[in-house]
Structure 1
Amino acid sequence: MDSKAVFSALYEMCEENAMFFSGGPERPTGDAAQRLVDTMVTIQEHARSLEPVLAGFSSIYHHFDFDPHVHANGYRSLVKVVRCCLLHIIQKGRYIASNRRSIFFRMAHSAGEMEAYCSALCQLRALLYLAQRLLHDNSHGNLFFQEESGLSESFLQEYASMHKACFYGRCVGFQFTPAIRPSLQSITIGLVAFGENYKKHQSGIGVAAGSLFTSGKYALDPELRGQEYERITQNLDIHFWKTFWNITETEVLGLVSMTSVQVKVNRALSVSPEPFDLPMVSDPTRMVTICPPAAHIGPAQIQMRLISSELREGQDSEKLLALCRSEGGPISLSLGLKAKKCPPSPWLVVHYHGGGFVAQTSRSHEPYLKSWSQDLGAPLLSVDYSLAPEAPFPRALEECFYVYCWAIKNHNLLGWTGERVCLAGDSAGGNLCITVSMRAVAHGVRLPDGIMAAYPAILLTMYASPSRLLSLMDPLLPLSVLSRCLSAYVEKQVEKVSTLGLVRRDTALLFKDLKQGASNWIHSILESTRASAVRDTISSVAIPPPSSEQNSEGPREFPASFEPLRSEQCAEMKMDSSPIFRNPYMSPLLAPDQMLRGLPPVHIVACALDPMLDDSVMFAKRLRNVEQPVTLCVVDDLPHGFLSLSQLSKETREASNVCLERIREIFTSKDPPLEICSTLKFKLA
């Protein structure tokens, strides 16, 4: 259904229902009937203002695509979400028209449903106006406004005060595929119940148990759930989110892993922090010393997990068994010892998990990692890197790079021949895949054969972009929570404002990394050049001015006749402008060209409705413009973090398989020529 047909159907539905409930002998009486009439009228008002705005975006958003085959960017996503909201309203309105004469018709319930979607449409209208200003004020066809003051600061203030509860109640996850909406509803119910019991119990298990007794009221009252969800996301600190996200680490929810694919080897390893040497790629007779991680907490054991569907030679060696650590339960060791040993695999996946740099471990990601190991017939080594705020940047990067190098040095312990290795990660882990490879280039050691980064966080600044506007409504990535994660990741660095002090006392390690471009790195974190690295690589497109409805006489974001719904209490948002956010090892999108050249092939799997979509699109363009092999695949109708939901629906499993196929391509392809690859956008059923 094209946009004109959508709006035509919406107007017809609203007018017909409004006429029925406002007059005639069959008109129902009561407050609910009048609420329906008022809502239908308001929806029509919003739609009439939205129609020309959507048409304007539809005429230009193709300029921001990665290529003619990959139709994805934040402007497209905003238009799609608005259309999805309109279609939901039409569907619910038609249900009302078909059932309003029935004795079983729940008028108050229907009025509540329409009011919730009307509120959502109002807030989406506000987002489109903000996107219009971004489109007009930005230059060079860039998706990001590359300043933290001005427009980005204005968007942050709008987010802090705009009403968001409507997106967490009856409308939660309306933009995503229907198969996962019940799961998202369960997550929101669980979170608000967890928040009510937070700090009443000492352990995460105690909070989870207490939450079971209070979740019922939030399941029955979606308005209450939305209000409480908004309060929690706006006000609770990073320690709450660490505790909630780490529920998946408990033995209770760890039972989910038992229902996933069974593997012969699943061992938690702990490696001592000792230096070792690797040969240089340019001259194998020369060695590079890989120093153990030392940032913030000093030398400490490095944790990782080895997963293998089959027991392979070396995986039962005394040296490896000496590295095994107990997790408070039986180690998956006896299964392997009794099984027949297979030859070493030519492939190895080194995996970095997501979790906003502050939460989760390899255990949270076990279900899909086990499936990957079985399907690939290869072992996986997942790194349990230290988490912020206790161990902020660059500790995680140091540990991930150390484990990558350790795996190359000790390939015989992992059931791997040492032939091909792929880095794979999601979200924060995708960021680490890229930065570890940048560090390998700087050290001159062997590079991975490729990178698979799923919905990676590639720009950790608070720069505004159209896809980031979706954080107003995303139940898994609210902007207030993202800002807390980013602040935690640099928490101990903020006081160090000098250029040389940004990477802490052991910065000599990073200077060693930067021997192939140190001066460019230093320039990239200086205020005067922070925007040039991206803008120079993007071709200019003609941008139309904002809608005539926009107020151009002052700083007002919205037309004089419109105001979005506001929250009773503003979110606690702060604009952290520490220069470390622009460090290329934290925000690879801002890296100078010299640091991106020489990277292995990068395969990005992004989500069309992810607030971080624009990170992936812009980074793929950067790599293409410096002639680095890159592919971008975009999946529809799924949220950020779909790999962790891969067991819940056919759609998430298919998307997980897309990631798996990208890894397989890295292992099976010949050395790629220096030409740019692109993949067709993946369409979910």
Structure 2
Amino acid sequence: MDCKVVFAALETVCEDNISALCGPTDLPYGTVAERLITCMRQIQEHGRALEPVVTNFTTVYHHYDFDAQTPGNGYRTLVKVLQSCILHIIHKGRYIASNYNSAFFRADHNASEMEAYCIALSQLRALLYLAQRLMSDNNCGQLYSLQDEDLSHKFVQEYSSMHKACFYGRCLGFQFSPALRPFLQTVVISMVSYGETYGKQQSGLGIAALSLLTSGKYVMNPELRGAEFERITQNLDLQFWKSFWNLTESGLITGFNRIASNPVQVNFTLTVPPETLHLPLASDPTLSATVSPPLAHWGPGPVHMRLISYEIREGQDSEELLAFSRTDPPPISMSHLPWVQKQPRSPWLLIHFHGGGFVAQTSKSHENYLRSWSKELSVPVLSVDYSLSPEAPFPRALEECFYAYCWALKNCHLLGSTAERVCLAGDSAGGNLCITVSMKAMNSGIRVPDGIMAAYPATLLTTDASPSRLLTLIDPLLPLGVLAKCLNAYAGTDCQTVQPMVGNGSLSALGRDTALLLSDLTQGASNWIQSFLDPRRSSGSSPSSAQRRKLVNNTSTTKSGSHMDYPDNFEPLRSESLAFVHPTSCPIIRNPFVSPLLAPDQLLRGLPPVHLVASALDALLDDSVMFAKKLRDMGQPVTLAVVEDLPHGFLSLSQLSKETDIAVEICVARIREIFQENNTSPALRQRPKMERSHQSTSPLG
């Protein structure tokens, strides 16, 4: 949408509301009218200041795209998010102007809504100013300030002090697809309820019961929910996040996923002992390379994997393979399934590395879409359960994933595949591991995979500033404080982890009844949201409402020397307490096998075709754009698809909305393209730029 049209509409709405509310009125809510007038005037001031800023961005942000056919970068996203906020304000403002004198007009509710979006607009204004600073300090086309440590430090400081609660209350998820907002509300409510009981001297049933009882107040009071979420993201340790994310491992939730997803005939875990492997050299198959088992930190240890196959294929029921499974009785026995026809080995093999910030989740968390992939692609899927940080920092996970890849090549006949074509696929942290495993394969001289599909991968594991990283200020799924904790844990620098009083806080300590109650909480919150957000249940005279008005009226021009200097006597709202974000500054973070975006060309030259699928609203968007540019400029085959309106982690949200289904279909199409490519010669991997495919769906702007 044309930004001039948006800002003109905003100006008109503000004038209409101010004129209507300032005129003669018999309305009984004079104080609320004053709140609305003050709010609309502040929105008007923000809009007038932001219009030239946005106009400047729209004239140049195409220079930061991957190519003309793939519009997408952090600058575009910030403009899009700002426009989404303004469109919400315009919609609400038109409603107020048309209905403020109605007997059924809910004055306090509408005033609270408008105040919340006014605060969000103020904070987004700060983000646009920060993005301006990034653009002026970086070379044209560069999205990261890799050399400007001072600017990255300022970015972390701003995140630590800026008010963020407004984005997790009434405004929660405004930038995402409308179909996903109830889900995001459910996640945030569940998280703050779980956070309130986390660490208390309760166990199992007690934690779940307390979470269930306390969740109602966060449904009815959005401001309290936002403040509590901000507290959690700023203060709670990494073990809390591991514990909460691992709730997806509960038997009830995974059981529901299995019912909702495609049934498969093969789905069991394998434990491969740490034995030295010998694989043929890619350059001379008559010679072999030795691959040692994972050794980092505690010496040789087994590697755990999960085999998923829609159909039973030759080798998958062999005694040799089933010996790696500790299930008793064996997970597959053809004698018990006489009606099932065994299929021949597939020429394809999909090896998967799951996401979870290097600190949480397993193949079980990602089973839903892996089952679908196995059916749609008719391919066996081997998903690796690598060891997690901070207990197993870099390079343990990389060693285990590389070993699993080598073991799969050597034992593909057991997995139901001939491995004529092998694809690595992963999301987020798993996307990083797909790239670094391939780099390690090249470095070891063994066969590299035939292609990589990496969804929203982390290619730069630092807190360096970029326009899309600014989204961590407003993202309910990937706040900067949490992201930094995960990255530092993987680097082995997070030594401040504190064990909660209930043990390690994992779901295993909660038990089946706890999982049941927490699942009830998650399911029930979605139904409560619409009914409990009735403004008559949340009095405007509550302390949270008073604090909200104080935030809206805060126009202080007193600036701390430690904060960024903003133009026009503007200062964003600040939090009452500071977040502690430990910058990712240790040398390990810049190791090319940790941050492949920083890898020298010689470590990346020879990679197989890399297919990146990113989301425009993901804080890691610029990771994908810059990595795609780096590979393209080297002459490496690469594609980039950018989808709209989805958060980080959209693969795990499949079937929740049309948008997530489309994004998942793009990922499947990329994998299929890898499998169906006939020419595997090195010349293919060096084909000219004009022959490569760069695709974007739902372009921005």
Q: 2:615 aligns with which of 607, 613, 618?
A: 607
Distance 1:151 1:387 in 2: 31
Give me the whole-angstrom Cα distance separating, in 1, the residues matched to 2:447 and 2:196. Answer: 50
Measured in 2, the distance between the counterparts of 1:353 and 1:59 equals: 39
Q: Does structure 2 conserve the Cα–Cα contact (< 8 Å) formed by 1:148 and 1:462?
A: no
Q: Which residue of 2 aligns with 1:635?
A: 643
Do the aligned partners of 1:609 and 1:637 also contact (CA within 8 Å) in 2? yes
1:116-159 CA deviation, whole Å, 9 max, x = no partner? 11110000000011111111111253110013631000010010
Indicate conservation of the 8 Å contact 1:92/1:114, yes or no.
yes
Question: Which residue of structure 1 aligns with residue 321 of structure 2?
Answer: 320
Q: Which moved more, 1:442-451 or 1:22-31?
A: 22-31
What CA distance in whole angstroms lies between the structure 2 residues aligned with 1:277 and 1:168? 52
Task: Write out aligned runs for 1:202-217 (5 A).
Answer: 207-217=207-217
Query: Aligned to 1:592, which of 592, 600, 616?
Result: 600
- The answer as to 2:688 corresponding to 1:675 is yes
Letter in 2 for 1:627: G
CA distance in 2, matches of 1:619, 1:642: 20
Residue aligning to 2:45: 45
Q: Distance in 2 between matches of 1:338 and 1:572?
A: 60
Check the 8 A contact 2:642/2:699 in 1, yes or no: no
Query: Residue type matched to 1:679 in 2?
Result: H
In structure 2, C-alpha distance between the alignment counterparts of 1:683 and 1:632, rounded to whole Å: 13
Q: Does the aligned pair in 2 maintain the 1:635–1:683 contact within 8 Å?
A: yes
**Cα separation, 1, equivalents of 2:194 and 2:99:** 37
| Larger displacement relative to structure 2 (91-100 or 424-433) | 91-100
The aligned counterpart of 1:536 is: none
For 1:122 and 1:338, how far apart are their aligned partners in 2? 65
Q: Taking CA–CA contacts closer than 8 Å with sequence separation of 6 or more, which of the two structures ends up with the larger relative contact order?
A: 2
Distance between the aligned counterparts of 2:127 and 2:189, measured in 1?
26
Distance apart, 1:447 and its partner CA? 0.9
The match for 1:422 is 423
Cα deviation 1:544-563 (Å, max 9, x = unaligned): xxxxxxx9x99843025100
Preserved CA contact (<8 Å) 1:348 1:378: yes
Which stretch has the larger CA shift, 414-423 or 19-28? 19-28
Matched, 1:113 2:113: yes
1:352 equivalent in structure 2:
353
The corresponding residue for 2:451 is 450
Distance 1:479 1:652 in 2: 24
What residue in structure 1 maps to residue 507 of structure 2?
Answer: none
Q: CA deviation digits over 1:263-312, x for unaligned, max 9?
A: 00101111101011000010111110110001012211210100000011
Taking a change above 3 Å as real, the CA distance of residues 625 and 649 of structure 1, as seen in their structure-2 partners, is same
Structure 1 residues 333 and 612: alpha-carbon distance in aligned structure 2, compared to 1, 3 A threshold: farther
Q: Which amino acid aligns with 2:367?
A: E
Instruction: Confirm whether residue 469 of structure 1 aligns to residue 470 of structure 2.
Output: yes
Aligned to 1:181: 181
What is the aligned length? Answer: 629
Letter of the structure 2 residue corresponding to residue 175 of structure 1? Q
Deviation track 1:510-535 (CA, whole Å, cap 9, x = no partner) reads xxxxxxxxxxxxxxxxxxxxxxxxxx
The 1:666–1:205 alpha-carbon spacing in structure 2 relative to 1, beyond 3 Å, is farther
Q: 1:649 aligns with which of 657, 676, 698?
A: 657
**Do the aligned partners of residues 569 and 351 (structure 1) sit closer, same or farther apart at CA in structure 2, a change above 3 Å counting?**
same
Residue 479 of structure 1 and its aligned partner are, at CA, apart by: 0.2
Farther-moved stretch of structure 1 (557-566 vs 459-468): 557-566
| Aligned counterparts of 2:124 and 2:481: Cα–Cα separation in 1 | 18
Query: Structure 1 residue 207: deviation in Å?
Result: 3.4
Letter in 2 for 1:298: G
Cα distance, 1:206–1:453 mapped onto 2, change above 3 Å: farther
Cα separation, 2, equivalents of 1:333 and 1:103:
70
Shift of 1:595: 0.5
AA in 2 matched with 1:423 = L
Task: Tell me whether 1:252 sits opposite 2:252 in the alignment.
Answer: yes
What do the CA deviations read for 1:482-535 (whole angstroms, capped 9, x no partner)? Answer: 01001111226999xxxxxxxxxxxxxxxxxxxxxxxxxxxxxxxxxxxxxxxx
The residue type paired with residue 357 of structure 2 is: G
What 5-or-longer segments of structure 1 have no aligned partner? Answer: 496-550
Distance 2:94 2:244 in 1: 39
Does the aligned pair in 2 maintain the 1:637–1:684 contact within 8 Å? no
* Cα offset, 1:188, TM superposition: 0.4
| Aligned counterparts of 2:179 and 2:132: Cα–Cα separation in 1 | 32
Aligned to 2:632: 624
- One-letter amino acid of the counterpart of residue 396, structure 2: R
Q: Is the 8 A contact 2:352 2:383 kept in 1?
A: yes
More deviation, 214-223/423-432: 214-223
In the TM superposition, what is the alpha-carbon distance from 1:603 to its structure 2 partner? 0.2
Matched, 1:22 2:22: yes
Task: Tell me what 1:223 maps to.
Answer: 223
Would the aligned equivalents of 1:349 and 1:423 in 2 still touch at CA under 8 Å? yes
The 5 A counterparts of 1:163-312 are: 163-200=163-200, 207-258=207-258, 259-312=260-313
Matched letter for residue 101 of structure 2? R
Residue 99 of structure 1 deviates from its aligned partner by: 2.4
Residues 283, 116 of structure 1: alpha-carbon distance in 2 compared, 3 angstrom cutoff:
same
Separation in 1, partners of 2:88, 2:250: 37
The code of the aligned residue for 2:649 comes to G
- Cα distance in 2 for partners of 1:275, 1:352 equals 22
Report the TM-score, using the length of structure 1 for normalisation. Answer: 0.89
Tell me the CA shift for residue 431 of structure 1.
0.2
Partner of 1:378: 379
| Amino acid in the other structure paired with 1:584 | P
The offset of 1:68, in angstroms, is: 0.7
| 1:249 to 1:570, Cα distance in 2 relative to 1, 3 A | same
Contact 1:280 1:445 in 2 (8 A): yes
Work out whether residues 158 and 563 of structure 2, in 8 Å CA contact, stay in contact via their aligned partners in 1.
no
Q: Which moved more, 1:312-321 or 1:644-653?
A: 644-653
Change over 3 Å in CA distance of 1:80–1:71 after alignment to 2 = same
Shifted more, 210-219 versus 176-185: the winner is 210-219
| CA deviation after TM superposition for structure 1 residue 576, in Å | 3.4
Q: Could you say what secondary structure the match of 1:389 adopts?
A: coil
Q: How has the CA–CA distance of structure 1 residues 271 and 303 changed in structure 2, closer, same or farther, with 3 Å as cutoff? A: same
The equivalences for 1:376-525 within 5 A come to: 376-491=377-492
Moved more, 246-255 or 447-456: 246-255
5+ unaligned residues in a row in structure 2: which ranges?
Answer: 497-558
Q: In 1, distance between residues paired with 2:670 and 2:28?
A: 58
The whole-number CA distance in structure 2 between the counterparts of 1:493 and 1:91 is 45
Change (3 A) 1:374 1:209: farther
- Aligned residues of 1:290 and 1:402 also touching (Cα < 8 A): yes
Q: TM-score, normalised by structure 2?
A: 0.87
Cα distance in 1 for residues equivalent to 2:332 and 2:570: 61
Structure 1 residues 563-578: aligned runs within 5 Å: 563-578=571-586
Letter in 1 for 2:187: I
Contact 1:267 1:333 in 2 (8 A): no
How many Å apart are 1:571 and its aligned residue? 0.4
Does the CA contact (< 8 Å) of 1:307 and 1:373 recur in 2? yes
Partner SS, residue 662 of structure 1:
helix
Report the equivalent of 1:142. 142
Measured after TM superposition, the shift of residue 103 of structure 1 is 1.8
Residue pair 1:493, 1:580 contacting (<8 A) in 2 also: no
Alignment match, 2:94: 94
Q: In structure 2, how many angstroms separate the alpha carbons of the residues matched to 1:427 and 1:309?
A: 25
> For residues 203 and 643 of structure 1, do their structure 2 counterparts lie closer, same or farther at Cα, with a shift above 3 Å needed?
farther
1:219-257 superposed Cα distances (whole Å, 9 cap, x missing partner) = 111000000000000000100000000000111222222
Structure 2 vs 1, CA of residues 48 and 28 (structure 1 numbering), >3 Å: closer, same or farther? farther
Letter in 2 for 1:444: G
